[in-house]
């Protein structure tokens, strides 16, 4: 029989990278939408930070429902 191709440590590292990528995707897209809407720099920064926080909440929620 063939075992898993990734060790537990590698699997956890890839999972953390995926979660970080998801958070960055949500935050970055929120900032880009603000730029497209013509917001000033302070508003874009605030929306990006809010998007990053929302991404963290979403990742936490997804981690709790899908082990």
Query: Model confidence over 45-55: pLDDT tens digits?
Result: 999 999 999 99
Which residue, 22, 20, 28, is CA-closest to 49? Answer: 28
Q: What is the pTM of this model?
A: 0.82
CA distance 27 to 50: 7
Query: Model confidence over 8-63: pLDDT tens digits?
Result: 899 999 999 999 999 999 999 999 999 999 999 999 999 999 999 999 999 999 99
Angle at CA of residue 30, ends 40 and 16, nearest 5°: 135
For residue 66, name the pLDDT band (cuts at 50, 70, 90): confident
pLDDT of residue 4: 77
For residue 1, name the pLDDT band (cuts at 50, 70, 90): low
**Widest CA span of the chain, in angstroms?**
59
């Amino acid at each position: 029989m063939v075992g898993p191709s990734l060790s537990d440590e590698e699997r956890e590292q890839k999972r953390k990278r995926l979660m970080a990528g998801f958070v960055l995707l949500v935050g970055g897209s929120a900032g880009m939408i603000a730029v497209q809407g013509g917001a000033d720099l302070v508003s874009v920064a605030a929306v990006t930070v809010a998007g990053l926080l929302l991404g963290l909440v979403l990742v936490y929620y997804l981690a709790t429902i899908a082990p």
